Amino acid sequence: MTNHLPSIVDLLQENGPLLTSDISKMYRDMGLGESAARQRVSRRPEEVKSLYGLPFPKGARFLYLEGDFGDKRFFRSLIAKLSETKSSYSAAISGMIAREGICLKSQWDIVSGAPVLQRNHVASAEILRRLLQTKLIKEVPVAGIGECLILNERFYPTNFSAFRARCTIEHILREAVRRWAIRMGLSTSNVLEVSSSSYLPKFSTFCFDLVGPSYLNALATWKDKTPKPGFFVSDIIWNEDMREAEVDGFLKKVDTLKPLRGLSAFQPMLVAAGFTKDALMKCRSKGVITVTPDTLFGRDIAEALLELLTTLEKAAQIAIGNPEKIEALFDKLSGLDGNLRGAFFEMVVGHLVRQLFPGSIDIGVLVSDFEKRAKADIDVRLVNQTEVVCYECKGHAPHVPVTCEDAKYWLEKQVPTIRAAHNMEGRFQSLKPVFEFWTTSFFDADALAYLEKRKVAISKYRIEWRDGTYVHEQASALQNKTIKKVLDQYYFNHPMIKVVRQPRDKPTPKLNDQL
């Protein structure tokens, strides 16, 4: 009878990669006893391979055919089996999928849904190591953003331009939610921490986007007339349609924290652009507050954020044909401006360049030097019949200089990668390469000395640098005054900039001086 049963190879060819426990069950369903089924799986032929690195419950192994490793069906089967077994690795994949398959490497401890270190749990760093080992996740440098983690592109394509836009919006939202939480009394301004590329707030064994102590009645406890605060924790994900499976990474953190003995009470909150009904119900069943920009800030702000996403993804078209949209979005999001100045300055430069010089422009172009496995981000690129000009854009406040370190990174990291990438494209072979650095502020003395020295030494391409005075002059010369108005209102004369620029070294007037 057993001779008529399909072989393990037959089962894998028909069903794709499977767990050993799945194959044993298939054989038992065909009439084999438990011991015979287990022996048949253990005596598998050499062409059937076992995946090392990712453990499954009860010692099960993930089996696949030698030629199937790394293809789309392989990864889909692997993720499905991780999900079925409620694995910690599944929660990490859930966190990645919720973020459209890409995140900053520095944010991994937030994304993974795993503790930094906790007894009887796999640490976040170990989960990353094993996912990298099995090639489910890859590490890639993204210029202008930093080291990033992406899901394997064979089963989950990566949109880098959309990621840049999402980073900007999430940065804005983190600061906006922080201010909202302070206004609502959930925490206070001097202790509510927000994640950044170099720092992750931590509550107990887990990292979140926002963490702060809270003295709300439902969270605080009292001992000997002394209050002990609870905590407010939150993650922020710009996902317009968070599904049930995509909230699992966040809920894993909540579920793992709740049983810890002696832990302060805490209130988790998940912020996303939108949730499916199933995702909402699942979060609420765990006591998680789920909110959207609409419920936090009103429909006008929520719609403006969606419009901002589209604007950042279509920056070149808007910079050329509709600069008024930049002004309109600044006005709508004035209370949440956050990192808008940096993102919008690329469009400002794109519009100025297109008006001043003939040619076509691109904004936010990611290029690669495949030989050195390096990537660079071109903020604005102008191509005409004689030159290809790449612009580095820094929308700083007027008092924040471009430093020598900024200039060195541009010339020694970005420019060589861009040149190598352009040398691989035939359309750029006959064009003279030019690289320019534009800012709304100024270059400090060390930066100017470095740039002057490099300009004399460089012969294969030309470099230029333009400060805020030059940018303002070019905008003033245009017939359409929209860009000048934007620069004046949000870069050179912004109220917050005026506050920062007030002189601090004036002595306090003495009483006798006032009499």
CATH no. of 314-499: 3.40.1350.10
Comparing 336-345, 356-365, 487-496, the range with the smallest average pLDDT is 336-345
Under 8 Å between Cβ of 81 and 74: no
Q: Which range has highest mean pLDDT (5-9, 69-73, 139-143)?
A: 5-9
Tens digit of each residue's pLDDT (9 = 90 or more) over 11-26: 888 888 888 888 888 8
What type of residue is 37? A
What integer is the mean pLDDT of 265-274? Answer: 92
Given a contact cutoff of 8 angstroms between Cβ atoms, the answer to whether 444 and 436 are in contact is: no
Query: How far does CA 406 lie from the centroid of its chain?
Result: 22
Domain at 160-297: CATH code: 3.40.1350.10
pLDDT, position 336: 57
Q: Do domains 160-297 and 314-499 have the same CATH topology?
A: yes
Q: Does domain 84-151 have CATH number 1.10.10?
A: yes
Query: Helix (H) and strand (E) counts for the chain?
Result: 22, 20
29-43, 260-274, 403-417, 432-446 — which is least confidently predicted? 29-43
Report whether pLDDT(109) > 90: yes
Q: What is the pLDDT of residue 334?
A: 61
Q: Please determine, for residue 494, whether its predicted confidence score (pLDDT) is greater than 60.
A: no
What is the pLDDT of the chain when averaged over all its residues? 83
Q: pTM (2 decimals)? A: 0.69
Rg of the chain over CA atoms, in angstroms? Answer: 28
End-to-end alpha-carbon separation of the chain, Å? 112
pLDDT for residue 304: 74
**Bridge-partner residues for 105, per DSSP?**
none
CA dist 75 → 10, 87, 134, 302 (Å): 19, 15, 10, 35
56 closest CA partner among 93, 18, 28, 94 = 18
pLDDT for the residue 500: 39
pLDDT at 499: 38
Give residue limits of the domains in the chain.
Answer: 2-73, 84-151, 160-297, 314-499
**Over 90: is that where the pLDDT of 209 sits?**
yes
E-strand ranges in 229-286 read: 230-237, 266-272
Instruction: Please choose, from the candidates 276, 269, 278, the residue with its C-alpha nearest in 3D space to the C-alpha of residue 296.
Output: 269
Q: Give the list of residues 6+ apart from residue 243 with CB closer than 8 angstroms, or none.
A: 276, 278, 279
* Per-residue pLDDT tens digits for 45-92: 888 888 877 778 777 888 888 777 777 788 888 878 877 777 788 889
| Band of pLDDT at residue 222, cut at 50, 70 and 90 | confident
61 SS3 class: coil
pLDDT of residue 305: 75
Q: What is the pLDDT of residues 420-447, one digit of tens each?
A: 989 888 888 889 999 999 998 999 999 9
Instruction: Classify burial at 45, counting beta carbons within 10 Å of its beta carbon; exposed 0-12, middle 13-18, buried 19 or more.
Output: exposed
At residue 335, the pLDDT reads 58
Q: Are 231 and 212 in contact (CB under 8 A)?
A: yes
CA atoms of 419 and 342, how far apart (whole Å)? 24
224 compared with 323, residue with greater pLDDT: 224
Kindly state the helix (H) or strand (E) to which residue 283 belongs, with its residue range: helix 277-285
